[in-house]
Structure 1
Amino acid sequence: MQYTETEKRKLVNRLKRIRGQVEAMQAALDEDARCTALLQQATACRGALDGFIGTVIEHHIRRHLADPKQAAADRAQAAEELIGVVHSYLT
């Protein structure tokens, strides 16, 4: 199941903000910013990306795992896909 236009727009806007954060981090590096400033920006980027990932995981769970209209085999496949992605993210 695809994202609604509203969901997609929110995700795209979040990615644009993340891109802006990464570009600001690159500019700070080019300007020889302090290590602590770079680390703060990097952790902000990481937090924003983690929020994006969390939203996509939530969508996957709601649309493919928790939806009783989905066949059991489809839910099982969706669960295995999610397990693989989460495992690769955490390791």
Structure 2
Amino acid sequence: MSHTIHQKPKLLARVRRLKGQLEGIERALEAEAPCAEILRQLASVRGAMNGLTAEVMEDHLREHVLEVEDEDERHKGGAEMIEVIRTYMK
């Protein structure tokens, strides 16, 4: 079972908050809000997304690398994490 299933309610709550923040940015743009306000909202969304990403990455490392007995599975989990980090860093 995936670790995201164990954390599903918590992760979904974070995604819903992000969705609300993005909708707030949309409303600010529609209302022609000052750019400084929009930039603050964008920074807030970026921070929230980074936090969510870090949490899922950490859970992946714990579930699929650190706490795995089978060496092949551990290597697979590590390789998946490397791929994700490379994508994330682009």
TM-score where L is the length of structure 2: 0.93
- Quote the RMSD (CA, aligned, Å): 1.4
Q: Identity of aligned pairs, percent?
A: 33
Q: Distance in 2 between matches of 1:59 and 1:22?
A: 25
> Per-residue deviation at 1:19?
0.2
Which residue of 2 is the match for residue 57 of structure 1?
57
Letter in 2 for 1:73: D
Give the TM-score taking structure 1 as reference length.
0.92
Structure 1 stretches lacking a partner, 5+ long:
none
* Distance across 2 between alignment mates of 1:4 and 1:53: 12
Mapping of 1:6-85 within 5 angstroms? 7-69=7-69, 71-85=70-84
How many residues get paired? Answer: 90
1:3 aligns with 2:3: yes
Which consecutive residues of structure 2, in runs of 5 or more, have no partner in the other structure? none
Determine helix, strand or coil for the equivalent of 1:26: helix
